[in-house]
Amino acid sequence: MAEQDSVHNLLSRLKQGRDEGINILYPHYRRIFYAYARRLTLTHEEAEDTVGETFWRILNCIESYDEINGGGERWMWRICRNVIVDMLRKRRSVEPLVDYHLVYEDLDPEEYFEKNEIAQAFACAWERISETDRGELRRGRGRGTGRKKWHEAFQRFLACFHVCYEGPAGEE
């Protein structure tokens, strides 16, 4: 990028409706944002999606860019980081929570049955909690009130897990 084309100037021009800014910003930051996403454990496809989503958000949010305070590169990095966080949350919410059809050929039978019991208790507890609690657990801890809701859902899940794993109190 040329010195006279600072990120702030390019974003300001883009906000004014002059599209040449994106033609300079995209080729320069495409590789940088991609490398950053890969460093944060995203797959090749996820990193490419991150770059596309980042520039899509830049274009859609350009009206919120504050020309007075500037910070053009920081503003773009904040968008990129938010896209990556969203991608990691999405990935976590679609990963299977448990595979309780265990195959442990190298385990002795006692260890196999113990691991199988734990996995079945996990599945049992997951089925016993409400759909709302499942949603909270899939969403992750979050911050503020979201963190409290997640913690409460997790405590209910643990209580169900202990019931499923140990059986009802007094049962032998």
Task: Give alpha helix (H) positions in the chain.
Answer: 7-15, 20-39, 44-61, 72-94, 109-128, 131-139, 145-166
Domain boundaries, the chain: 7-94, 109-166
Residue type, 58: I
Q: What is the pLDDT of residue 3?
A: 44
170: left (phi over 0), alpha (psi -120 to 50) or beta: left
pLDDT band at residue 50 under the 50/70/90 scheme: very high
Average pLDDT (125-152) is 80
pLDDT at 8: 86
**Predicted TM-score (pTM) of this structure:** 0.52
Q: Give 106's pLDDT tier (boundaries 50, 70, 90).
A: low
Contact partners, residue 26, CB within 8 Å, separation at least 6: 55
Least trusted range by pLDDT, from 50-54, 102-106, 122-126, 160-164:
102-106
- pLDDT, one tens digit per residue, over 91-104 is 776 545 444 444 54
User: With 70 as the cut, is the pLDDT of residue 78 above it?
Assistant: yes
pLDDT at 109: 66
CATH annotation of 7-94: 1.10.1740.10
Alpha-carbon span 113 to 120, nearest angstrom: 10
Tokens 């195959």, located at residue:
103
Q: Is the pLDDT of residue 65 over 80?
A: yes
Q: Alpha-carbon distance 14 to 123, whole Å?
A: 52
Place of tokens 């499923």: 164
Q: Alpha carbon of 79 to those of 40, 110, 158: distances in Å?
A: 15, 51, 36
